Amino acid sequence: MSRREMTMASDAGKSADGSASSEDEAATSSPAEAVSVDDKPAPPPAAPPAFVPKPPLVALAYIVASVTAGIMQGLGTSLISVNIAQIAGPLEATTNEASWLMAAYLFPNASLALILFKVRMQYGIRNFCEIAIIPYVLVSLAHLWVNDLGMSIVLRFCAGAAAAPISSMALLYMIEIFPPEKKLTVGISLALIGLFMSTPVAGLVSPMLLDLHDLQGLYIFELGLALVTLCFIYLLPLASPPRAQVIAPMDYVSYAFLAVCLGCLSIVFTMGRLYWWFEVDWLGWLLVIAIASGTVMLVIEINRNNKLIDVEWLFSREVLHFTGVLLVFRMLLTEQSTGVINFFKQLGLFNDQMAGLYWVILAATVVSGLVCAMVVKPGREAEIHLVALLLIAGGTYMDSQATVLTRPEQMYLSQAMLAFGSGLFLPPAMAVGFGAALKKGLPYLMSFIAVFLFTQKVGAFIGSAIFGTFVTWREQYHSSILTSRLLPTDPLVEGRLQQYIAAYARTGADSLHNTIQGTNTLVKAVQQQAYVLAYNDAFFATFIAAVGAIVLLLLHVAWDNRHRFVPTRKTPEAAQA
């Protein structure tokens, strides 16, 4: 997108009321796109009041509210993913069964924000925020009295639905304090800081919470953040733009099919690696249901005048390119969000032993958001994305050199590079997409939100599934090779086995038992080495993907600027003139 187009996109997001979100302002400022439930154009809304800067302390309170909401919305999955073994024990479940908590949370959360956007426009931001936070508080409170897996899964489903509007609140509270021309640049950059902080925060607070109150400690922390956010919402109200009748009856039908589609995909890609893709029939049936419901939703939307999602625009070249960029970025970040954490857990480390790593990731995330807020401007997207991809490529290559002796301290630099790159990449991309959609009106803005939800929520567990499947496949490959080379006649193998047997001989006199235990220890050591090699392969594959993204970005920039290097051929008439 050219500098002129980005300027137009930024101007389209401007509003005289700086306290309202740019997405809401654009939607309500276009009466032609605001369609009531009977498909008649809604009356033009009144112009919102002029932007009034907030006092410094009040602005700081809005920033704290945004960060708190951003952290809270991600804890629903982060607290489970970083503590899956500790959660499974109190629930008397296996780790695979406990993973259903995350799948249940993602089922409604993956799509609900789309329809909630229209609800917010029709009933007002302030009413929306004040009402939407209450179900989350109640669900968090209900967790304190539940100790069995079945009811916990039901509550996590309710929590996923209740948490869907929280990410919007994090964005709205941050951009509330900025003038219209900075909402899509500085506002988005700072708002995304809180959205990226949930995983390191979960890793830092989990050991203390589990030690004090076991599983209930995690739920108490969630409840505490929900109550703090509730106070912020009622003390710091958001000024709403004029309301508009934008919900049509068929919106609920289309959304129902979309929710089933994305919900089934979330279960397939969350649980597929654990139950293995071709081993259970229900994974295939869920995939069939997802495809069928998605197809029905597309057919409905293609034949509607008042569309929930503009399907034709979704399949345009520009949107497909934008979707591909966000998907690649989301999958590259899987190396940090799940890859490195699971790598160290495979080596036997716990969250308290990785506290330093979590602090490094947290600090790099905050600094990257601040730097991005200072440098992001329309027209700089390609340069910022190039720097971000170079940092990600460098960090993943450094991680691919790990050994069984690698500890978090050896990955501080590489993980800081990854966190910094992730904080640089998303704000410019999001600003470009928002700007392009704002120029076209409400249906296109809804379509952009659908694209963003798909790439960031669905893309997250797709990336995790691909990464985990690749690690499992490579572990089996390396295990077979290492095992084939462990010959009983090899003096090194025999010497290592005798060391393990001698270690167990100090605890008991049963020679047969000691031999079995020593042999099992040797097998586990071989498997651990195979996992290290598998994670190195996955890290290196991520590095190759990042390099490929860099090459594609450079080719795209060269194509967009080809007119600067290739002189245009003049016609004979122009030459004579």
**Cα–Cα nearest to 221, from 353, 71, 84:** 71
Q: Over 50: is that where the pLDDT of 71 sits?
A: yes
- Alpha-carbon gap, residue 486 to 70, rounded angstroms: 50
Q: What percent of the chain has pLDDT over 70?
A: 81
- Position 33 scores a pLDDT of 37
Instruction: Tally Cβ neighbours within 10 Å of residue 137.
Output: 17
- Position 540 scores a pLDDT of 92
Residue whose pair of structure tokens reads 């597929």 in the numeric block: 272
**Cα–Cα nearest to 263, from 461, 76, 94, 82:** 461
How does pLDDT run across 85-120, given as a tens digit for each residue? 888 878 888 888 888 888 888 888 877 777 777 777
Bigger pLDDT: 479 or 561?
479
Q: What is the 3-state secondary structure (H, E, C) of 281-347?
A: HHHHHHHHHHHHHHHHHHHHHHCCCCCCCCHHHHCCHHHHHHHHHHHHHHHHCHHHHHHHHHHHHHC
Q: What is the mean pLDDT of residues 337-362?
A: 86
How does pLDDT run across 123-145, given as a tens digit for each residue? 766 677 777 788 888 888 888 88
**Any idea which architecture 1-246 has in CATH?**
Up-down Bundle (1.20)
- Alpha-carbon gap, residue 408 to 359, rounded angstroms: 11
pLDDT band at 7 (very low <50, low <70, confident <90, very high): very low
Instruction: Tally Cβ neighbours within 10 Å of residue 191.
Output: 27
- Alpha-carbon gap, residue 141 to 54, rounded angstroms: 34
**Hey, which of 144-148, 370-374, 563-567 has the most confident mean pLDDT?**
370-374
CB contact at 8 A, 543 and 396: yes
Which of these ranges, 310-314, 389-393, 528-532, has the smallest mean pLDDT? 310-314
Report residue 567 CA to chain centroid gap: 43
Q: Give buried/exposed letters for 410-426 (b at 16+ CB in 10 A, else e).
A: ebeebbbbbbbbbbbbb
How does pLDDT run across 458-495, given as a tens digit for each residue? 778 788 888 888 988 888 888 888 887 777 676 777 77
- Any idea where the domains of the chain sit in the sequence? 1-246, 249-305
Give the Å distances, CA to CA, from 335 to 223, 276, 320, 406, 414: 30, 21, 24, 16, 11
- Position 413 scores a pLDDT of 92
Q: What is the 3-state secondary structure (H, E, C) of 52-99?
A: CCCCHHHHHHHHHHHHHHHHHHHHHHHHHHCCHHHHHCCCCCCHHHHC
- Position 12 scores a pLDDT of 40
Which of these ranges, 157-161, 224-228, 336-340, 409-413, has the smallest mean pLDDT? 336-340
How does pLDDT run across 428-462, given as a tens digit for each residue? 877 777 766 666 665 566 667 667 767 777 778 78
How does pLDDT run across 240-268, given as a tens digit for each residue? 666 667 777 787 888 888 889 888 888 88
